[in-house]
Amino acid sequence: MQQPDSSRLSGPGSLQTDVSPAIDRAGLPEDAGLPEDAGLPDEPLAEFAIDHGLKLSSARPPAVEYLRQLWQRRHFISGLATALNVSMYTEARLGQLWQVLTPLLNVAVYFLVFGELLHTSRGVPDYLPFLVTGVFVYNFTQRSFIIASRVMNDSLPLIRVLHFPRASLPLGYVLIELQQLVVSLGVLVIIVLVSGEPLSWYWLLAIPALILQALFNAGGGLIMARWGAGFDDVSQLMPFIMRTWMYVSGVLFSIQSLALIHGGLLARHPRLAAALQVNPAAVFITLVRNAILASQRLNQPGAAPYNAHRCGLYASFPDNHSYVTFSKFCHPVISEPGLWWLGVGWALAAIIIGFFYFWSAETRYGRG
Amino acid sequence: MAEPMVVVDNLHVVYRVYGAGRDRGTAATALMRMVRRQRRASIREVHAIRGISFVAYRGDAVGVIGRNGSGKSTLLRAIAGLLPAEEGGGVYTDGHAALLGVNAALLEDLTGAKNITLGCLAMGMPPREVKQRFQAIADFSGVGDFVNLPMKTYSTGMGSRLRFAIASAKHQNILLIDEALATGDAQFRVRSQERIEELREEAGTVFLVAHNLRHVEETCNRVIWLERGEIVRMGEDVSGIIDEYVEASGGEPVVRDRALT
């Protein structure tokens, strides 16, 4: 019989699908189907098996045991990530330089289109580092989710040959993205320093923020992996969903500023502004921006005591150089400590829900 | 009595094939389906395994024979836990069964060396042991200098040799081999036969699906003959059952030449 290859739901084509199990016995011995020397025990087979300590081959390990197996496979996960990361660019002539070039080209395009042509830089004091940080941080989540949605189908051969906790795969791929993020961060630091940002101890706050984001991506990646394994349609849809998410998460513009500036959509709908700001992508982006960019940290709403007059000046003339930093005199929608709590909450919720959601379908991956 | 390693209890496997009917899966039919709120394109059920029961014991090498489409590969995949059994039956195993198939390609873009390392790590070997066994696995696979080239450059035979080397490197209680050795050359066949023998002696159980009946006869101490998802014959009279199978399927009788064993 032919093994079904890449399609998950397929079967042997040569078998008839007659409902009655009538079998054409032409050419077979008369007593076929009645093996005499089968050597079966007298008791029911299921009891016999359990008495001898055998387990159902398709049984799912309990959650704690599954976690233990995953921990035991940590070398596999990191080895897989490193190996795939290196091999990803072997066919390109510039090799791993693309790790740096891809985000840089993205930034260049966004800067031209959104910063210069569409002028979404309204009310942002230092737009280029603001944009670069947003693009790099969002890219981490975007790539993790898109790759995770494809990983179960792409790794079918591996799943079919070897037994290992399947969650190793999405986690391994999120780890690749983390490694790529570290490279991007090197580029980010250079851009930020060149654009005149001072080196500061606040930068260290980016580390916990990115760890929280990595946890969030791992949890989300597990959810995406299970969805993507169930329907191919998910991996087709993901790029559109992720692009929409980027446009509403303040990668290219400042949600905080738009919520203050008079006449803007977000200023007229404060609930919408709040909803956009608590979304996980926006939370992590804002946390990293506040850590690395002094212009963001010092001018975020709430950074200075509330002053209605100055806040009003910012809201009316966001592009005026004298007032562009007056956003700090306004009321924040979400305060800085609030952002940290949200970040912790999103990370924990994603990793816990993601783990159980993925684990509960563990035995169904790679079947069919 | 020997210790049972695999118990197959009234196993039924049904493939559910989507979009196999008249529905040709065009965009228009997909849209109509959504409008009419139907679930999916017509589902066809293929009853691939129809109530099989048997027990395999420690040290058994079980050959599974039968025509194309008789359910051999399906049976192995059910033992490996990769296919769900229908209600009322199931497969019980002592630990996980490792399945070696022809189509399995591991990680194509990575080198053979990386595949060895990652494969062993995935099976749960500690990194130090992987380092120790690496050379032995590479030597056993016999891929030579190709070990440092991506696996997609391998020939079918080389790929299956490397996969066999990796999967048999860790002590597996149950090893399922699905035509995986068919593409190897004569020298590798001898070596893999020795390895299967070793695994059996290490008190494991080996299942072998092969169309090469001589290979089954040389390797196995028991044989199961499947036809349309049911057992026709099963037992330890390997050459007797094989002769009967050959006669029923109208093929050439097996030439028994003992030169290789």
Q: Find chain B residues with C-beta within 8 A of A157's C-beta.
A: 103-106, 108
User: By the CB < 8 Å criterion, does A56 face chain B?
Assistant: yes
pTM of the model: 0.79
> Is residue A285 within 8 Å of A250, Cβ to Cβ?
yes
> Which residues, in sequence order, are bridge partners of residue B92?
A56, B7
The alpha carbon of residue A14 is apart from the nearest alpha carbon of chain B, in Å, by 6
* B139's tokens: 């030597």
Q: Find chain A residues with C-beta within 8 A of B83's C-beta.
A: 58, 367-368
Of A81, A152, A156, nearest in space to B108 by CA: A156
User: By the CB < 8 Å criterion, does B119 face chain A?
Assistant: yes
Task: Tell me phi and psi for residue B236, to 5 degrees.
Answer: -100, -5
Under DSSP, is residue B113 helix (H, G, I), strand (E, B) or coil?
A: helix
- Summarize pLDDT for A135-167 with one digit per residue, the tens: 899 999 999 999 999 888 888 777 776 778 899
* A241's tokens: 């969903």
In chain A, the DSSP E strands lie at: 55-56
Q: What is the ipTM of this complex?
A: 0.73
User: By the CB < 8 Å criterion, does A168 face chain B?
Assistant: yes
The alpha carbon of residue A33 is apart from the nearest alpha carbon of chain B, in Å, by 4
Nearest CA in chain A to B44: A17
CA–CA distance, A237 with A152 (Å, rounded to integer): 16
Contact A87 B70 (CB under 8 A): no
Interface of B with A in 1-20 (CB under 8 A): 3-10, 15-18
Contact B123 A5 (CB under 8 A): no
pLDDT given for residue A152 in this prediction:
87
Which amino acid belongs to residue B102? V
Q: How far is CA A109 from the centre of its chain?
A: 23
3-state helix, strand, coil in chain A (%, to 5): 65, 0, 35
Minimum-distance CB partner of B4 among A54, A83, A87: A54
In DSSP notation, A292-348 reads H-HHHHHHSTTSS---HHHHHHHHH-TT-TTTTTGGGGSPPSS-HHHHHHHHHHHHH
Contact A48 B7 (CB under 8 A): yes
Angle at A155 between CA A153 and CA A158, to 5 degrees: 135
Which strands form B43-57's sheet, in the order they lie side by side? A55-56, B90-93, B4-18, B43-57
Selected residue with higher pLDDT from A149 and A122: A149
Which amino acid belongs to residue B224? I
The alpha carbon of residue B191 is apart from the nearest alpha carbon of chain A, in Å, by 21
Contact B55 A45 (CB under 8 A): yes
Of A270, A260, A236, A245, nearest in space to A331 by CA: A260
pLDDT band of residue A116 (cuts 50, 70, 90) is confident
Q: Tell me the C-alpha to C-alpha distance, in Å, between residue B18 and each of A57, B21, B24, B46.
A: 26, 8, 11, 11
Which amino acid belongs to residue A177? E
Of B81, B257, B191, B51, nearest in space to A159 by CA: B81
Interface of B with A in 69-108 (CB under 8 A): 69-74, 77-85, 90-94, 96-108
Indicate if the pLDDT at residue A121 is higher than 90: no
Q: Find chain A residues with C-beta within 8 A of B92's C-beta.
A: 45-46, 49-50, 54-57
**How big is chain B, counted in residues?**
261
CA–CA distance, A339 with A277 (Å, rounded to integer): 9
Minimum-distance CB partner of A17 among B8, B44, B78: B44
Q: What percent of chain A has pLDDT over 90?
A: 27
Contact A48 B4 (CB under 8 A): yes
CA–CA distance, B84 with B237 (Å, rounded to integer): 31
pLDDT in tens, chain B (261 residues): 578 888 888 888 887 766 555 555 677 777 776 777 666 556 677 888 888 888 888 888 899 988 888 888 888 888 887 777 777 788 888 877 777 765 555 677 888 888 888 888 888 888 999 999 899 888 888 888 888 888 888 887 888 888 888 877 877 788 888 776 666 677 777 887 787 778 777 768 888 888 778 878 888 889 999 988 888 888 888 888 888 888 887 766 666 654 443
> Is residue A300 within 8 Å of A336, Cβ to Cβ?
yes
DSSP B136: H
Of B12, B19, B18, B17, nearest in space to B74 by CA: B12
Of B143, B145, B128, B202, nearest in space to B168 by CA: B202
pLDDT given for residue B150 in this prediction:
85
Q: How far is CA B25 from the centre of its chain?
A: 32
Contact A12 B15 (CB under 8 A): yes
> Is residue B86 within 8 Å of B12, Cβ to Cβ?
yes
Which amino acid belongs to residue B7? V
Which amino acid belongs to residue A78? S
**Hunting for tokens 């209680």 — which residue is that?**
B173
Contact A45 B72 (CB under 8 A): no
pLDDT given for residue B156 in this prediction:
78
pLDDT given for residue B206 in this prediction:
87
CA–CA distance, A4 with B83 (Å, rounded to integer): 12
Torsion, Cα A39 A41 A47 A51, to 10 degrees, reads -90
H or E stretch at B205: strand B205-209
CA–CA distance, B42 with B6 (Å, rounded to integer): 35
Contact B4 A10 (CB under 8 A): no
DSSP B153: G
Selected residue with higher pLDDT from A237 and A89: A237
Minimum-distance CB partner of A11 among B48, B231, B248: B48
CA–CA distance, A335 with A345 (Å, rounded to integer): 15
> What are the counts of helices (DSSP H) followed by strands (DSSP E) for chain A?
16, 1
pLDDT given for residue A224 in this prediction:
93
Neighbours of B82 (CB within 10 A): 25
Of B147, B195, B190, B156, nearest in space to B172 by CA: B195
Q: Find chain A residues with C-beta within 8 A of B6's C-beta.
A: 54
Segment A299-320 shows an average pLDDT of: 82
Minimum-distance CB partner of B17 among A10, A48, A164: A10
* A245's tokens: 């998410």
b/e code A263-280 from CB counts within 10 Å (16+ = b): ebebbeeeeebeebbebb
pLDDT band of residue A11 (cuts 50, 70, 90) is very low
